Structure 1
Amino acid sequence: MQITSRSGLRCALLATASAATLFTATGARAQDTAETTSEPQQQTTNDAAMREIIVTAQFRSQKLQDTPLSITAVDAALLEARNQTDLSQVAGQAPNVQLTEMGGAFGSSMAVYIRGIGQYDFNPAYEPGVGMYIDDVYYATLTGNIMDLLDLERVEILRGPQGTLTGRNSIGGAIKMFSVKPEPGSSGKVDVVYGARERIDLRASMNFALTDNLYARVAGVYKHQNGYVDQLDYGCVNPDNELGITGNPSTPANCVVDKLGERNYAGVRGSLRFNPTDSFDWIVTGDYTWENRTAAAGVITENNTDLTGADFRCGRFCTYASWYLPAGGQAGQAYYMPNSVKFWGWGVSSDMSVNLSDSINVKSITAYREYQQTYGTDDDYTPNPNIGGGGFNDLTFRFFSQELRVNAELGDFADLTVGGYYSDQKSVYFTRQDIRYIGMGNPALFLQFQGDDPVRADSKAVFGTVILHPTPNLNVTGGLRYTKEHKDYTFVRKAWDGGPLVDIFGVGALDGTVAVYDGDRIDYRISVDYRFSDEVLAYATVSTGFKGGGVTARPFTQSQAVNGTFDPETLTAYEVGVKTDLLGRTLRMNLSGFYNDYKNMQLPIADCAILDGFPPGEDPFPCAAISNAGDGEMYGVEFELQASPIYGLDIDATVSWIEGNWKRIGPMVGNNIRLEDPLTTPNWRGSFGIQYRGELGDNAGTITPRFDIAYTGKQGMGRLPGSSELDFNPARAIANARLTWRNADEDLAISFEVQNLFDKYYYLPIRFAALYASAGTTYSNVGRPREWAFTVQKKF
């Protein structure tokens, strides 16, 4: 039955809560421990029973099914079975989660959304809406977050605001990745992959003991694969075109300049673990990442020939984007922007855990990270020099954080966590922008400038959570977190030679302007969970979260910069859920329903009159500001299933539904968003996976076929300027298949896989449409076509 109203949601929530009353209350309260305690997996006499996954979402080790949160936890075995090696692949098997590789104007970054809440703009003036963590260390930006799942123990995806647990910018939820810890003994693993478009992946990890209490672990990865969208030389393909665009003499005879959508990535991580006693555990980790690849696989999706001068669409997997601009304005000679993305970054962290007694644990997490990313953009995505525009971007970043927390068990009655957090970060965003499409070929109207903007931010927080156990089956959780944050953005607007910028738009007057944001916030969480039996846990939660405030990153006037500060957006979430392990732990079903009250949403506005001091609708200056201009509500239901009905057969499935309505949209937003529009799409998502491990006998090993499919409903893409109709990406279902043979000793495996099995053609759900009104084009990244690969894995 499809749920289409708030009254329907209330019925669903009541049904969810009522389902638990069908079971007899016989279970004892779930045991939890400090994070350093190693909890054995639950034993069972049923060979088909599922593995127990231990999570630390509440800063203490708990079984997944004992944690009163909506969590999708994926361990290393399932990641390997699905052949998921980067974070964006995990989203297809998690309810109401969307991870989209951006590219285009946003470089190497990933938009992360949970339950319709997140962020897509990489600019350091803005904050993510989903917190991302590696070994409990916060990753503070969208840039560089397309992470390889290197040597991971598990991934935890927490849905719903995590304001008291992980703090600011976890308003939609949090994604937490945990790497394998160094341990006694020696072991290792090597994976070699060869596949379509000359794909080569090399992955390896090694664990060894240096002394009786000092262990080391090293892991590395290298990936390379040719791109799948041809960048064509328009003049070469169309030598007699009416625009007089000539081909580049260095272009090959087949007119292919490059292949977009390439992969070329390397990373290494090393850890040392000092574990002299059961009371002291210290892990120091360092990592390095390098990436050098062509731009994302974009193609033109809309082409207004009245503005572009020709139809520059060339096919499903090709583009005429040139990254070329002729001489004009401050550009004394013609030049090419790079059609590539380069990234390097490194980080170190220290995780020290001390048990002061059997009931008190102290944990200190210290981290530092740096990165640099450079890339070019072709803003109009055409080869027409008269409507062109482009940019060069160089973003550097450094980040320091310190977290201290204390876990205590107060007898059998309560568990307590208290702590503090501090972070300090600085970005420097250098850019050279050549915006010609405004002038339509008139150099006097070109907007060309150089920026070199430092952005500083810091955050301080104190937090506490107490879990009370009034009866053996009942837990009551309360949490508070206070956060104070600061951000300042200094705008540098120079001419290309470094001198004063003189332009008719007045952008040069921004030079030296400083915009400042300061704010604080208190978040809370109240949760009640009750274990009706060993098989059934039910919970109800009220929690809050926020996405940090900031400043307008792309002002056209000094007033827009100074007055463009905006406050945090906030969320109050109400959730009920049931977690079950049935039939001897061969069937696991988790069901949750939620309602979100979403306020002060940070929206792009079309009219900056309120910032520039003009009456509404009379501002003569362009506007690309952000403001707290919307309120809304969202509600939904999520279902997850895992089943192992017989030995060797594993099934997993998810279904999620979400609906959202606008309650307020400020008039400055313009007509691109209207009150009658859906607040969030797609409404429906789902996934299904099945595998069977068959014994071959006579020490011949096993063979395991696996099939996965992920469904995404139609998704809104907004309106084009001048249009009254919403555009949608159509619904899609992407299937993958894999066949794996393992030897009898299970130290050798050979796999063959096909991804996008049915060769579905689709666009990723981000459309770059900022230039449609002036240059007449929009473009989107196209999904990867059908691909095959062989993998050989050896363990030792």
Structure 2
Amino acid sequence: MAKTPTQFVRLLAAGSALALALGQTAPAFAQAAPQNAQAADDAAADTGGIKEIVVTAQFRSQKLQDTPLSITAVDASLLASRNQTDLSQIAAQAPNVTLNAMGGAYGSSLGASIRGIGQFDFNPAYEPGVGMYVDDVYYATLTGGIFDLLDLDRVEVLRGPQGTLTGRNSIGGAIKLFSKKPTDENSGTVELVYGSRQRMDVRGSANFKLADGLYGRVSGVYKHQEGYVDQLDYGCVYPNNAQGIGARPSSGQGCLIDKLGEKGYAGVRGSLRYNPNDAIDYTVIGDYTNESRTNSAEVVTSVNPAKVSSTYLCGRYCTFANFYAKGNTAPPGLSIPGPWGQVKDGYYMPNRTKFTGWGVSGNGTFKLGDGFNVQSITAYREYRQKWGTDDDFTPDLNVVGQGYNDLKFWFFSQELRLNGKVGDKIDFTLGGFYSKQKSTYFTRQDIRYIAPGLNFQFQGNDPVNADSKAVFGTVIARPIEGLTLTGGLRYTKEHKDYTFVRQNFDGSVSYFLGALNGVKAVYDGHKTDWRVSADYRFSPQILAYVTVGTGFKGGGVTARPFDAPQALNGSFGPETLTAYEVGLKTDLFDRRLRLNLSAFINDYKDIQLPLITCASLGSNAPCGARQNAGDGKIKGVELEMQANPIDGLSLDGSISYLTGNWSKIDPRVGNAYLLDDPIVTPEWKWSIGAQYRADLGKSGSLTPRIDANYVGKNNAGRLVGGGPIDYYPSYTLANARITWRNAGEDLSISAEVQNLFDKYYNPFRFAAVYSFTGTIYSQVGKPREWAITVQKKF
């Protein structure tokens, strides 16, 4: 029988009591445990216990089990054993975390939420709800966020608002990636992968010593794999169709046009570290990424027969989307220029996504004396992404809905931190942060499905400017042995302006959105966040903590207005969150069992929701505005487990429960959200993994591993016009892997199967135009696939 949140809180309390009892009633266990962290690590290594991971979530190096935050920390060895090579895969093992590579309409972007709070729309008018960081540098957009896990040391997933720590837009939490630093050794690694659908991955890294105190590291990756959704020519498959849709000229592939869901990625990273002594440690990192692939694997999953033919339902792994639009009907003869060439009667949008980006950062720590240091983090990044869309995802020439997007972006940031000590009882951090960014969003949108026969087409070339300034401080005090008190404060000031360009395809002022041309929407805001926390170490095995803190997701402007009042009056303020959390971190049985538990209540206010009517903004046009229009509460429980019950056997797992309810919804939202609706989903999420290392003596070792993860049913929203909420069905995925390593552990060969039981599932859908086009299309998860990996270390 399913348990209620109250029951889970009681279970958490019971687990805490049990752990405390273990610490208090088993004197032999408590006395045998080491009394300092280094001794504990040494003991763990000697007894086959769980190794500790050092994290920097509170601006200083702390062991994971000493940090009073809910953190999923994954080091390089665990990433490798799970064969996780891009960021979106991390969510499978992290409780209450959703990371989804978005569909074709959103380009190469990452939708992210933690504990039900995040963002899935790439548009630069909006802010992320989960802070993304690479080597302590904030990554300010969802676009390009599907990072390859190239040459990483670890990943930290911080759950809950990080308003006083990582700060900007970390209302749900933060994800921090840390690459391996250059060291004073000469070493290298080469890895080759071959697998299903002509998969070919090549990865490599090299570390070298240039001189005393000067070290370098370089790494690179290339990945390519064919897609798994067939894009078919409808006129070829149905040559005598009732719609009169003709076949394309033959390409020599029969009726196959292309394969969606292709992988095409290349990246390189180089770093130079200057570390002549204990007083200076400065690292410069540069990286470059190039991605070129077909759009995401998507298929039509629902049609309204009153609007379109049911024959447009191609199948589980095929689509008739053709990315084609007929010429204009009004005004007659209007030519349509564009990057696809000058045409008059019709044109194709690209079915491909192209992304190029690069960045450089400098991260240095300088000691000022005993207990004091200054850290400086300077960074610059820019990218450009181009992609096309077919909004209706059908071959129907009478349902026109295509888009072309070209997004340019640059970002500069500077952060300074002063870390210090006051005696042996107090640590503190004081700091400041500044960032400035600009996006230029060029788009051509053909949305004649809104009113067939009219010229509902436009092009935009919108500049979007934003800057953020913050000052912050954290104090960590240890008034008595075992007790630690933490307090933090952060003040943030933000600005954003968005200038709308709305023109016809020939460059003249748009026929139906012309009133927007040249209009500038502005958002200015500020916010103060705070956090207080107390943790107590009852024994070397048990840490309990309680924390209350706040966070926010920045305000913005309405991204897709239909007239000037919606743009000028449609700016909105930040979402805010106050989170109450209790937790327990334990290392039991000589650190062979680790259990980390947490329970939380989030008071979520001023939630940014789309409106169904814009009359309050002075507009009677179709409404495209978003406003602060809802409040609610979110509750949840999380458990993470690691165990090494016997030498060679490793187990890891997690389970999370999430629920919540609305307390207020603005009537302007209409029936898109109702008070009885769930505010967050999925309720349940779990994962389990097991591996066993069998020692083969001089022949090396053999390590089989299996992983499984479950995602409960997820809210997909209700269609325009009301009706019940639709849900993405729940699903369970399993992966298996077996690895042989030689005795010197410098050569390994692995065989793996992903989606072992060939589960068919749809993680995301696009239904925004269903009332116009009669179609819904959805992402399709990867089918079962295999791969062989060979790795050599030097």
Q: Does the alignment reach a TM-score above 0.5?
A: yes
Q: Which residue of 1 aligns with 2:616?
A: 610
CA displacement at 1:40 relative to structure 2: 10
2:78 alignment partner, SS class: helix
SS of the equivalent of 1:273 reads strand
> Which residue is equivalent to 2:263?
263
Distance (whole Å) between structure 1 residues aligned to residue 45 and residue 400 of structure 2: 68
Q: Look up the equivalent residue of 2:766 and give its one-letter code.
A: F
Which residue of the partner structure matches residue 536 of structure 1?
A: 542
Describe the shift of the 1:750–1:514 C-alpha distance in structure 2 as closer, same or farther (beyond 3 A): same
Matches within 5 A, 1:197-276: 197-276=197-276
CA contact (8 A) 1:29 1:474 kept: no
> Which of 463, 467, 473 matches 2:476?
467
Secondary structure of the corresponding residue to residue 385 of structure 1: coil
| 1:296 maps to 2:302 | no
- CA contact under 8 A between 2:225 and 2:264: conserved in structure 1? yes
CA contact (8 A) 2:710 2:732 kept: yes
Could you tell me how far apart the structure 2 residues matched to 1:354 and 1:128 are? 32
Distance 1:116 1:670 in 2: 22
Q: Equivalent residue for 1:350?
A: 362
Q: 2:56 is matched with which residue? A: 56
Q: Which residue of 2 aligns with 1:616?
A: none
1:329-408 to 2 correspondence within 5 Å?
329=329, 330=334, 331=336, 332-408=344-420
CA–CA distance in structure 2, aligned partners of residues 759 and 16 of structure 1: 37
Q: Is the 8 A contact 1:134 1:178 kept in 2?
A: yes
1:739 and 2:748 aligned:
no
| Deviations 1:221-248 (CA, angstroms, capped at 9, x unpaired) | 0000000000000000000000000000
Deviation at 1:413, TM superposition (A): 1.2
Q: Is the 8 A contact 1:491 1:514 kept in 2?
A: yes
Residues 232/525 of structure 1: CA separation in 2 closer, same or farther (3 Å cut): same
Distance 1:428 1:279 in 2: 42
Choose 87-96 or 667-676, whichever is displaced more.
Answer: 667-676
The question of 1:523 aligning with 2:529 is answered yes
**2:556 aligned with 1:560, yes or no?**
no
Please give the secondary structure, in 2, of the residue aligned with 1:671: helix
Residue aligned with 1:560, SS: helix
Corresponding residue SS for 1:65? helix
Q: Which amino acid aligns with 2:779?
A: N
Residue 312 (structure 2) pairs with residue 312 (structure 1): yes
Match of 1:596 among 597, 602, 606: 602
Among 776, 784, 790, the alignment partner of 1:778 is: 776
CA deviations over 1:466-496 (Å, ceiling 9, x no partner): 0010112000000000000000000011111
CA contact (8 A) 2:45 2:51 kept: no
What is residue 35 of structure 1 aligned with on the other side?
none
By how many angstroms is 1:253 displaced?
5.0
The answer on whether the counterparts of 2:47 and 2:590 sit within 8 Å (CA) in structure 1 is no
Whether the aligned pair in 1 keeps the contact of 2:228 and 2:297 (CA below 8 Å) is: yes
CA distance in 1 between partners of 2:8 and 2:650 (Å): 31
Shift of 1:729: 1.3
Taking a change above 3 Å as real, the CA distance of residues 749 and 42 of structure 1, as seen in their structure-2 partners, is: same
Structure 1 residue 30, shift from structure 2 partner = 9.4
Corresponding residue number in structure 1 for 2:84: 84
Residues 164-197 of structure 1: CA deviation (Å, up to 9, x unaligned):
0011210000000000000001000010000000
TM-score with structure 1 setting the length: 0.95
Which position in structure 1 is the counterpart of 2:448?
Answer: 436
**Cα distance change of structure 1 residues 16 and 486 upon mapping to structure 2, 3 Å threshold:** farther
Mapped to 1, the partners of 2:514 and 2:385 lie a distance apart of 26
Residues 278 and 492 from structure 1, CA distance in 2 versus in 1: closer, same or farther, beyond 3 angstroms? same
Residues 591-611 of structure 1: CA deviation (Å, up to 9, x unaligned): 100000000000111111111
In the alignment, which residue of structure 2 is the partner of 1:652? 652
The corresponding residue for 2:68 is 68
Which residue of 1 is the match for residue 509 of structure 2?
A: 500
The separation in 2 between residues aligned to 1:647 and 1:406, in whole angstroms, is 43
Superposed displacement of residue 12, structure 1: 4.7
**1:161 corresponds to:** 161
State the SS of the aligned residue for 1:49: coil
Please give the alpha-carbon distance, in whole angstroms, between the structure 2 residues aligned to 1:270 and 1:721: 49
CA contact (8 A) 1:526 1:543 kept: yes
SS of alignment partner, residue 514 of structure 2? helix
Structure 1 gaps of 5+ residues are 33-37, 614-618
CA contact (8 A) 1:164 1:463 kept: yes
SS at match of 1:461: strand
Partner SS for 2:306:
helix
Structure 1 pair 312/439, CA: closer, same or farther in 2 (3 Å)? Answer: same
Return the letter of the residue paired with 1:436: R
Query: Following TM superposition, by how much is the alpha carbon of 1:9 offset from its aligned partner in structure 2, in angstroms?
Result: 5.7
Give 3-state SS (helix, strand or coil) of 1:147's partner.
Answer: coil
Correspondence list, 1:687-766, <5 A: 687-697=687-697, 699-764=698-763, 766=764
Letter in 2 for 1:379: D
How far off its partner does 1:311 sit? 3.0
CA distance in 1, matches of 2:214, 2:168: 36
Confirm or deny: 8 A CA contact 1:233 1:251 kept in the other structure. no
Contact 1:23 1:532 in 2 (8 A): no
Distance 2:310 2:183 in 1: 63
Distance 2:34 2:467 in 1: 40
Give the distance between the partners of 2:484 and 2:15, measured in 1 at CA: 19
- 1:250 positional shift: 2.9
Partner of 2:27: none
TM-superposed deviation, 1:672:
1.8
Secondary structure, counterpart of 1:267 in structure 2: strand
Cα contact 1:542–1:572 (8 A) shared by 2: yes
3-state SS in 1 of match to 2:246: coil
Q: Distance in 2 between matches of 1:18 and 1:706?
A: 33
Task: Determine if the alignment matches structure 1 residue 447 to structure 2 residue 456.
Answer: yes
The 1-side partners of 2:242 and 2:160 are apart by: 55
Instruction: Give the 3-state SS of the residue equivalent to 1:528 in structure 2.
Output: strand
Which amino acid in structure 1 is aligned with residue 318 of structure 2?
C
Scaled by the length of structure 2, the TM-score of the pair is 0.96
The 3 A distance-change label for structure 1 pair 29 and 386 is farther
Superposed CA deviations along residues 730-762 of structure 1, whole A, max 9, x for unmatched, are 111000000000000000000000000000000
C-alpha distance in structure 2 between counterparts of 1:365 and 1:181, whole Å: 15
- CA distance in 2 between counterparts of 1:170 and 1:54 reads 21
Task: Spell out, residue by residue over 1:311-361, the C-alpha distance to the aligned partner (whole angstroms, 9 max, x if none).
Answer: 301111000000001111444221100000000000000001101112001
Which SS does the other structure have where 2:493 is aligned?
strand
- Seen in structure 2, the aligned counterparts of structure 1 residues 108 and 260 have a Cα distance that, compared at 3 Å, is same
Q: In structure 2, give the amino acid aligned to 1:114.
A: I
> Contact between 1:709 and 1:736, CA under 8 Å: does it hold in 2?
yes
Equivalent position amino acid for 2:414 in 1: Q
TM alignment of 1:616-635, pairs within 5 A? 619=620, 621-635=621-635
Aligned to 1:426: 438
CA distance in 1, matches of 2:157, 2:423: 31
Distance in structure 2 (CA, Å) of the matches to 1:383 and 1:151: 43
Quote the RMSD (CA, aligned, Å). 1.7
CA deviation profile, 1:644-671 (whole Å, cap 9, x unmatched): 0111100001000010101111111111
Query: For residue 409 of structure 1, what is the amino acid of its counterpart?
Result: K
